[in-house]
Structure 1
Amino acid sequence: MFLAQSGSLLQQIVFPIFLIWFVGLTLVLIRNDIEIIWKIATFFVFVFYFFQFFPELKEAYERLSRSYPSEILSWLYGIPRAIYFFLLFLWPIAVIRMYYTASPVLANMTARTLVAATLAYWIFFLVYYQFTGQIDEFFKTKFIDWITIVPTGK
């Protein structure tokens, strides 16, 4: 559980990460050309992490049940922060991998993809930084109103 207690960012985005992971795992399990051993291995890796992060997932589900609009808004603010840290860890690994790859096509494609993803992230960040007030106001008013389900009486 030491990794699960690494801060509020992980607690903020653990539910959407596992939701995306579950969808991806389901797609892998129904794909025909993947060997059964790798399907079983990916399933058990998912189960391992699920049980490791179960308290955080349970807490995230309870927050989602209590107030889903504010929880979804929290996800929207947490995921870009997570992408920033993901790029921070991915770049050193990718450049070493680009050096050691035997295929110049793969090395160039990796560099092109990472540069494009990083530039897109930084453009997104600069736009957000420039228009923070307006974007926050939109998310806290119009977006919350848009995703809030108002019960109607019959």
Structure 2
Amino acid sequence: MLLKSIVRTSLFAALQLGLVLQVSAKDATQNAATQDSVANTAVSTAVVSDADFPAAGKAVEVVFGDAIIDLNFKDLTTLSIFCRSGIFKGITETVQYTAVKIRPQVYMVYWHEPESKLNVVHVEDFEHGTVYTNVTYPDGKFVHFKGTIKIVGNAK
């Protein structure tokens, strides 16, 4: 169920980036179980390698208005998060993440934060320095932001 929610959220974010998704009428009428199966297959086959994901091993700064967040992508699976200011100020966690290549220099990156109980999905466009995020709170509240993203050095 969580993966289904993540995929739907990520497709919404991909559409915000102007990506075109084509679905045939037959595909649109398939039942939810088949859609879940297709979505799970698509995500699992598109996971990237260290050489492909530009943030692997890097420190990244994302800015969503007054929210400044430091992301340290230790490797291809481990991410340390420190929220310096704004709505998420004070959140500090180390999580396991997944990066999926959408197109060159554009990645869907998602994770669950066990301590804060947040589910987070980013669409990170390193070519244009743009990031979209969708965050689900434990109570079901759902927020969306568009911001900037830049690699600022090596992961700490």
What TM-score, normalized to structure 1? Answer: 0.29
Q: Which has the larger Rg?
A: 1
* Greater fraction helix: 1
Structure number with the bigger relative contact order (C-alpha 8 A, sep ≥ 6) is 1
* Greater fraction strand: 2
What TM-score, normalized to structure 2? Answer: 0.28
